[in-house]
Amino acid sequence: MRRLPGLCVALLLVIAGCGGSSTLTGDALQKQDEAVHSAAAEGELLASDVARDRTTEPFARVHSGDLADQAKAVAKRVRDADAAPGLERERRQVLTRATRVAQALEELHAAPDDREVAERVQAELRRLAA
């Protein structure tokens, strides 16, 4: 029976983790950062194909829009939350990166058949994904 309190705490932590608490721990921040990276890296692949005219206009437009939404969702989550003590600087970094990735992808979304825009976006996203 001694284990019961421990179990309860573990359970509560799990529930809290699922419920999306408004305080970002280091781990949670790391997760959000990985999501931004993922959107940027995928956007880079897409932009590179647009720049070389290896895709279709609808696909480039719709998919860049979806990726921009992913980055925007991260930005919103990070903006609305407080960072755990000592993590405020990291929180801002993630927020800035997410916002920039979203902007770059929005640019591609707005001009999905412009090869020059695509080249610029690709370079920007490569930098942001690094």
Partner 1 sequence: MKRIFDIALGILAAIGGFVDIGDIVFNVAAGAMFEYQLLWVVVIGVGAIITYSEMCGRVAVVSQHAVFDAVRERLGFGVGLVALVGAQLINLLTLAAEIGGIAVALQLLAGLPYRVLLFLAFIAVAVVVWALPFGWIERVFGYCGLAMLVFAVAAIKLHPDWSQVASGFIPSANTSDPAVYGYFVVGLIGAATVPYEVYFYSSGAIEEGWKPKDLSVNQSNAIIGYTLGGLLSCSLMIMAGALFFPREITPETLGTAALGAQVPLGEIGLLLALVGILFAVGGAAIDTVFSGAYNMAQFFGWEWGKHRKPVEAPRYTIAWMVMLVLGFLIVFTGVDPIKVTEFSVIFSVVALPLTYLPILLVANDRTYMRRYVNGRLANLFGIGYLVVILLVAVAAIPLMFLSNMGQG
- Rule CB under 8 A: say whether 32 interacts with partner 1: no
Site for partner 1 in 42-71 (CB under 8 A): 42, 45-46, 49, 54-59, 61-63, 66, 70
**Residue closer to partner 1 (CB basis): 10 or 82:** 10
**Residue closer to partner 1 (CB basis): 60 or 95:** 60
Q: Which stretch binds partner 1 (CB under 8 A): 41-49, 80-88, 92-100, 114-122?
A: 41-49
- Half-sphere exposure of residue 63, counting CA atoms within 13 Å on the CB side? 17
Give the torsion sign (CA, 45, 47, 52, 58). positive
Ramachandran assignment for 94, one of left (phi > 0), alpha (psi -120 to 50 degrees), beta (any other): alpha
**Residue closer to partner 1 (CB basis): 46 or 98:** 46
Closest CA to 101 of 124, 73, 130, 77: 124
- Rule CB under 8 A: say whether 17 interacts with partner 1: yes
Alpha carbons 83 and 130: distance in angstroms, whole number: 23
Of these, 24, 29, 32, 35, which contacts partner 1 (CB under 8 A)? Answer: 35
Q: How far is the CB of 21 from partner 1 (least distance, A)?
A: 13
In degrees to the nearest 10, what's the CA dihedral of 62, 64, 69, 74? Answer: 160
Q: How far is the CB of 119 from partner 1 (least distance, A)?
A: 17
- Under rule CB under 8 A, how many of the chain's residues touch partner 1? 25
Residue 24 DSSP code: E
